[in-house]
Amino acid sequence: MNAEDLVIDVAGLSKRFADKEVVQGLTLRVRRGEIYGFLGPNGSGKTTSIRMLCGLLTPDGGRGTCLGFDVIQETAAIKRHVGYMTQRFSLYEDLTIRENLDFMARMYAMKNRREAVAGAIERLGLTHRRDQLAGSLSGGWKQRLALGACMLHKPQLLLLDEPTAGVDPKARRDFWEQIHDLAAEGITVLVSTHYMDEAERCHRLAYLAYGKLLIQGTASEVVQHSALTTWVVEGDELPELAGHLRGRPGIEQVVMFGTTLHVSGTDADQLAADIKPFQTQPRYRWSLGRPSLEDVFIKMMEQSQDNFA
C-alpha cells in the first residue's frame, strides 16, 4: 500500500482513564476515499479511538499519523482538516440553521464565510428552512444540518460517531447516499455504527470489543474469518425449538431473525450432529445459510471480556 494513499496510519494507540485501559494497542490503516466502519458494543472504545485520531484526545501510548500529521505532536493541524460529527446533535438549538452555520464558519475563521454558508444551505436543500430554529427540526434534518456544519471547511477526513442514531430509515438511506458521494470525491470517512445494514455499506470494517481491535477487513472477509456455519430454520413454534437447541455442545448461537431462526457454530460436524434429530420433524424447514454480519458480531461480543466488569 502506497504511504501517500493512507489518510490514517497508526500503530499501538492506547488510552487509559484511571485504572481502565479503554483502548489497547489500536493499529489501523485507512486509505484515501475509503468508508471505514467501526463496530462494537457500547464501551468498546470506538468514540475514544475516534477522538484520538482527530486530535481531541492525546494517546497514552503508540504512534502514527492522520492526514500526514503526527497524532501526538500535531493535533492542532489535524483538527483543521477533519470534520467531526458527534453522537448527539451538538449545534445550538436556539439558533436558526443559518446562524448555526455562520457560527461554525466563524469558528473555522473562514474568509468567505457568507458565501460558504449560503452554498452549504443550498447543497443541503435547506434554503426554505434557513431561518428555522435548529431545535424544531426533525432527527433527519438535524442530521443533515450537522453534516453540513462539519463539511463547511471542506475537510479531507470525516469522523462520524454513530451519526444515524435515532433517525428514520429513509433519512438513514439518504445520509449514506451523501456519504458515498463524498467518498467518490476523495473524502475519507471513518464511521461508527450499531446498524448491520450500514456496516455492509462500508468498504472495510473494524470490530472493537472492550478496547481491543479483534478483526478488520471487508464484510465478506470478516464473515469468512469467523469460520461460522449457520443453519436457517423456518416453521412454527420456533421459540420452542430454540429452547431445545440452546446449550448443546456444537451450537454457539440460536438467534431469532424475524420469522426465521439462525443456528450457528464453528464446529460444522458437531453442529450437524446436534441439529440432526430436529431436521426430521416436518414442522421445520432447514437450509444451510450464509452467516450474517450480525451472527459474526454476536459471536465476537459473547467471546469478549468486558474490561469494565
Judge if 131 and 278 occupy the same domain: no
Least confident of 57-71, 122-136, 255-269, 295-309: 295-309
pLDDT for res 307: 47
Q: Which of 175, 207, 222 lies at the terminal end of a domain, its last residue?
A: 222
126 within domain boundaries: yes
**Mean pLDDT in the chain?**
89
Instruction: Tell me the pairing of strands 157-161 and 188-192.
Output: parallel
Judge if 195 and 136 occupy the same domain: yes
Q: Which residues neighbour 109 within 8 Å (Cβ) at sequence distance 6 or greater?
A: none
pLDDT class of 2 with cuts at 50, 70, 90: low
Exposure letters 13-32 (e unless 16+ CB within 10 A, then b): bbbeeeeebbbbebebbbbb
pLDDT for res 190: 94
**Confidence check: pLDDT of 197 > 70:** yes
Judge if 254 and 204 occupy the same domain: no
**Confidence check: pLDDT of 302 > 80:** no
Q: What is the mean pLDDT of residues 83-102?
A: 88
Q: Which of 222, 256, 275 lies at the terminal end of a domain, its last residue?
A: 222
**Confidence check: pLDDT of 231 > 80:** yes
pLDDT for res 300: 81
Exposure letters 125-143 (e unless 16+ CB within 10 A, then b): ebeebbeeebeebeebbbb
Least confident of 257-261, 272-276, 301-305: 301-305
Judge if 218 and 252 occupy the same domain: no
67 within domain boundaries: no
Judge if 99 and 135 occupy the same domain: yes
235 within domain boundaries: yes
pLDDT tens figures, 61-78 = 999 999 999 999 999 999
Judge if 202 and 260 occupy the same domain: no
Q: What is the mean pLDDT of residues 204-228?
A: 89
Judge if 145 and 176 occupy the same domain: yes
248 within domain boundaries: yes
What is the number of structural domains in the chain? Answer: 2
Q: Which of 197, 222, 247 lies at the terminal end of a domain, its last residue?
A: 222
91 within domain boundaries: yes
pLDDT tens figures, 180-192 = 999 999 999 999 9
CATH number at residue 268: 3.30.70.330
Judge if 130 and 262 occupy the same domain: no
Judge if 111 and 258 occupy the same domain: no
53 within domain boundaries: yes
pLDDT for res 1: 54
pLDDT for res 137: 86
Percent of the chain with pLDDT over 90: 50
CATH number at residue 82: 3.40.50.300
Q: What is the mean pLDDT of residues 86-104?
A: 88
Judge if 217 and 248 occupy the same domain: no
27 within domain boundaries: no
Judge if 152 and 236 occupy the same domain: no
pLDDT tens figures, 16-27 = 998 888 999 999
Coil, strand, or helix at residue 153?
Answer: coil
303 within domain boundaries: no
Lookup result for grid cell 464484510: 219
Structural domain range at position 139: 32-57+73-222
Judge if 45 and 157 occupy the same domain: yes
Q: What is the mean pLDDT of residues 234-260?
A: 92
Q: H helices of the chain, where?
A: 46-53, 75-80, 97-107, 113-123, 139-151, 169-184, 196-199, 219-226, 238-245, 268-279, 293-303
Q: What is the mean pLDDT of residues 262-274?
A: 95
Q: What is the mean pLDDT of residues 34-61?
A: 89
Q: What is the mean pLDDT of residues 253-268?
A: 92
